[in-house]
Structure 1
Amino acid sequence: MKRAFAILLAASALAGEASAQEAAPTVKEDFKPSSLNQPGQEYPQVNSQGYVRFRIPAPEARNVKVSLGLGGRGGTVLAKADDGTWTGTTAGPLDEGFHYYRLTVDGGTFNDPGTLNFYGSTRWESGIEIPAHDAEFYALRAVPHGNVQQVLFPSPSTGTQRRAFVYTPPNYEKNAGARFPVLYLQHGWGEDETAWANQGHANLIMDNLIAAGKSRPFIIVMTYGMTNDIRPGSPGGLASFDIRPFQTVLMDELIPFIDREFRTLADPRHRAMAGLSMGGFETKLIAPTRLDKFAYIGLFSGGTFSLDDVDKVAGYRDKVKLTFVSFGSRELENGGMVGPPGMQKADPRANAEALKRAGLNSVFYVSPNTGHEFLTWRRSLREFAPLLFRD
């Protein structure tokens, strides 16, 4: 299970670069500043085909490279101009959606001063957004908006005050007598509790779904899923990760805090857990063992549930109202199988169908033309949310 974290995330580091290797006959010169640029910054730029052009001021540098994806693998080598700036364009178009990237300047790792930073790979990374054809579902639109607030909660098990971000739906403040279901939504490896709101636009996805009448309003809680010290570097650091301390934080500290401080419906039929990548593995390890707390389970690029998994959990068939599994289409290109090398691979689609034939509410979703990346997970949340808490 731990090795699977590393394999999935190593693949994600290559996702953006892999698409960039697809040859295109002509690069259109209709580049525009990225939507994630810092105010007043012209670069990086994106064209209508999904190519990205970078320009970095570094007059004393000897070489500059841009690397895309978690971990910053691969790279676009930039060329120096007479004015001391370094410019380069990706070899091919990138997949639609959000991508991390970093600069390598004379062997040192830096962020692009032209764009905003997002926490990933256990560090703040630069970010680029390739406009998606279906971006309306996570766009900032003229609809009623919920609120995302930071909360600090005591954690006796870790001896700290820990942080979570809580989304409350648009009618939470106005309807003071109402209580709401809760989704506990986990980030991926190397990310933190800011990821789902910043990179994932979870709040905007929910605002738009609720405004369209497609989802029941509910609270989302996002907290840091790492409780032991994972050093920056390769995903191999996950070998030291232990789920038990985080399970204590979640079950014994955070959930009781949320139920005290917010107007929740504090029973399993109104509580869900889901996560992307490592957060999906955390969900699979925790939620089925605590069916007294969770009735809805979602894995976004975070593994699969087989009929054998279900049969090992007493009460799963009766108590779990939804088992949701999703992947990006590029993650399933190897015959639809997922799993680390050297270990038995599983077919998540076949597993989902087996659960459905056995009478469980099993939903399998594939995001078209995406890999282990945030557009996959944005779309997964869009598909998952309307299925929750349907009394």
Structure 2
Amino acid sequence: MKQKSIFFALAATFLSVICFAQTNQTVVENFKPSTVNQPGKQYPMVNSEGRVRVQLSAPEAHKVQLDIGGVKYDLVKNDKGVWTGESAPQDPGFHYYQLNIDGASVPDPGSLYFYGAGRWGSGIEIPAEDQDFYALKDVPHGLVSENLYFSKITGTWRRCFVYTPAGYQKDTETRYPVLYLQHGSFEDETGWSAQGRANLILDNLIAAKKAVPMIIVMDNGYAYKPQDNSETNAGTHPPSAFEEVMINEIIPMIDSRYRTIADREHRAIAGLSMGANQTMRIIMNNLDKFAYYGGFSGTSNYPSSDEIDPATFLNGKFNDGNAINRQIKVFWLGLGTKEPKPFPASVGAFRNMLEKQGIKYHFYQSPGTSHEWLTWRRDLNNFAPLLFK
């Protein structure tokens, strides 16, 4: 029995060494600097398998990890105090990540910083087979401008980013339709132009004559009215005032500052995740303002997957399917095929309600993507060509 135990122990050790060697052999050594690195930085890198390799000089650190995709990967330190390591293959598209140094999570000093997950941190691009539609190309380019405004509703200074298509500055007579495009939870008004590449997607679509030239407004979905001290001290979370800000401040401001076609037939609204929830409520409460809707990875029944009663859902806004078909020219929903719970179930329940009510809608599934920016880039790329036709 003792000899058998020794044999099995040796066999297990041998197999583990072989498996470790095979695992190492599967790493393809064709790493290249990420396209969203800070200027001159070689790391982080990405290889053809989608693995992310990072490197950090931290001689005094005891443990350094790469934190990406919900998994932490240990880095190895050399005799110069430089830590290096890589992740398992990641899905194509844009991903947030961070480094963990002796328990402290920090951005990678080699990457550009993006606002997501409630913080400014690192991001990386894993090349996608269809990345051409959001690539920077030799086509006429529009302008993304920062607009500051004071909100009387929230009592705060706010800002939005506005995309104007190529030619807007030269042709001072043409007026344009407007798409109001919202970010998701723990993100902000920078997301759609930085992570989402919305301006490049529209540049490419317009240059290919696949989409109508349009203005895109990207505002911050977090808006709250001032609270008195008693409510704040009680720990109450103030209700969102974003719909009021959108209708009473943002739209009038945009129509006054830009050459818009200021009617519902030339106004669309869309959003991702939290933004899909917000924008659906906004359009259904303001059908005199919008004629097009896009919900990317979300609906206003989030997170419920129960059967939806149209007589009570959103105060009965979906009870008359024929009226909605007359009023909303494009009703569009999108979802990644790898979306986590509860999104497939909640969107599925919402679609079932639409079909029972006879409401016409478009549904798109992004192949091989989850609740992430490549899903939403593809959503926008497929949604925008349907607008204002």
Scaled to the shorter chain, the TM-score interval is 0.7 to 0.9
Structure 2 partner of 1:338: 345
Q: Is the 8 A contact 1:55 1:86 kept in 2?
A: yes
Within the candidate set 71, 74, 78, 1:77 is matched to 74
Tell which deviates more after alignment, 203-212 or 282-291: 282-291
Q: Does 1:312 align with 2:319?
A: yes
* 1:84-130 deviation line (CA, Å, top 9, x unaligned): 1111111x210001000011111112110011000011110100100
Asked whether the equivalents of residues 289 and 313 of structure 1 are also in contact (C-alpha less than 8 Å), the reply is no
Give the superposition deviation at 1:348. Answer: 5.5
Q: Which residue of 1 aligns with 2:386?
A: 387
Q: Which residue of 2 aligns with 1:369?
A: 368
- Could you tell me which runs of 5 or more consecutive residues in structure 2 were left unpaired when the two chains were aligned: 1-22, 226-235, 302-307
The question of whether the paired residues in 2 share the 8 Å contact of 1:352 and 1:363 is answered with no
What is the identity, as a one-letter code, of the residue corresponding to 1:255? I
Residue equivalent to 2:3:
none
How far the C-alpha of 1:26 sits from its partner, in A, is: 1.2
The alpha-carbon deviation at position 332 of structure 1 amounts to 6.9
| Cα offsets for 1:253-280 (capped at 9, x unmatched) | 1100000010111111111110111111
SS of residue paired to 2:181: strand
1:269 match = 265
Q: How far does the alpha carbon of each residue in 1:234-290 deviate from its partner, in whole angstroms, 9 at most, with x for none?
A: xxxxx94633x1111111011000000101111111111101111111112211111
Within 1, Cα distance between the matches of 2:277 and 2:300? Answer: 9
Mapping of residues 180-199 of structure 1, within 5 Å = 180-199=176-195
Does residue 77 of structure 2 align to residue 98 of structure 1? no
Q: Using the alignment, how far apart are the partners of 2:195 and 2:280 within structure 1?
A: 23
Task: Report if the CA contact (8 A) 2:136-2:200 is conserved.
Answer: yes
* Contact preservation (8 Å) 2:340, 2:371: no
**Secondary structure, in 3 states, of the residue corresponding to 2:339?**
helix
Matched, 1:89 2:86: yes
Take 1:82 and 1:175, find their aligned partners in 2: how far apart are those partners? 62
Say if 2:142 and 2:203, in contact at 8 Å, map to a contact too. yes
CA distance in 2, matches of 1:313, 1:181: 27
The answer to whether residue 26 in structure 2 is matched with residue 29 in structure 1 is: no
| Bigger shift: residues 112-121 or 171-180 | 171-180
Tell me whether 1:160 sits opposite 2:167 in the alignment.
no
1:124 corresponds to: 120
| Residue 221 of structure 1, aligned match among 199, 217, 221 | 217
- Structure 1 gap segments, 5+ residues each: 1-22, 230-238, 340-344
Structure index of larger Rg: 2
1:291 aligned counterpart, secondary structure: coil
1:53 is paired with a residue whose SS is strand
Give the SS at the match of 1:330.
coil
The residue number in structure 1 matching 2:232 is none
Q: Which residue of 2 aligns with 1:58?
A: 58
In 1, the alpha carbon distance for the partners of 2:155 and 2:112 equals 33
Which residue pairs with 1:328 in the alignment? Answer: 336
Q: Is residue 321–residue 361 contact of structure 1 (8 Å, CA) maintained in 2? A: no
For 1:273 and 1:33, the matched residues in 2 are separated by 36
Give per-residue Cα distances to partners, 1:292-344, cap 9 Å, x unaligned: 1111111100127878355336942321111100011101799x9424xxxxx
Deviation per CA, 1:193-252: give whole Å up to 9, x if none. 0000000000000000000000001100001111249xxxxxxxxx94633x11111110
Note the alpha carbon deviations across 1:5-53, whole angstroms, 9 max, x for none. xxxxxxxxxxxxxxxxxx8971111111111111111111110111111
- Aligned partner of 2:278 in structure 1 is 282
SS of 2:66's partner is strand
* Aligned mate of 1:208, from 204, 207, 215: 204
TM-score, structure 2 as length reference = 0.83
Separation of aligned partners in 1, 2:24 and 2:374: 23
Distance 1:387 1:24, change over 3 A: farther
Please report the RMSD computed on the Cα atoms of aligned residues, expressed in angstroms.
Answer: 2.3
State the SS of the aligned residue for 1:225. Answer: coil
Report the CA distance between 1:76 and its aligned residue: 1.2
The answer (yes or no) to whether the contact 1:275–1:299 under 8 Å persists in 2 is yes
Corresponding residue SS for 1:205: helix
Taking structure 1 as the reference length, what is the TM-score of the superposition? 0.83
C-alpha spacing 1:337/1:192, structure 2 compared with 1 (3 Å): closer
Contact 1:332 1:338 in 2 (8 A): no
Q: For the Cα contact (< 8 Å) 1:192–1:223, is it kept in 2?
A: yes
Secondary structure of the 2:188 match is coil
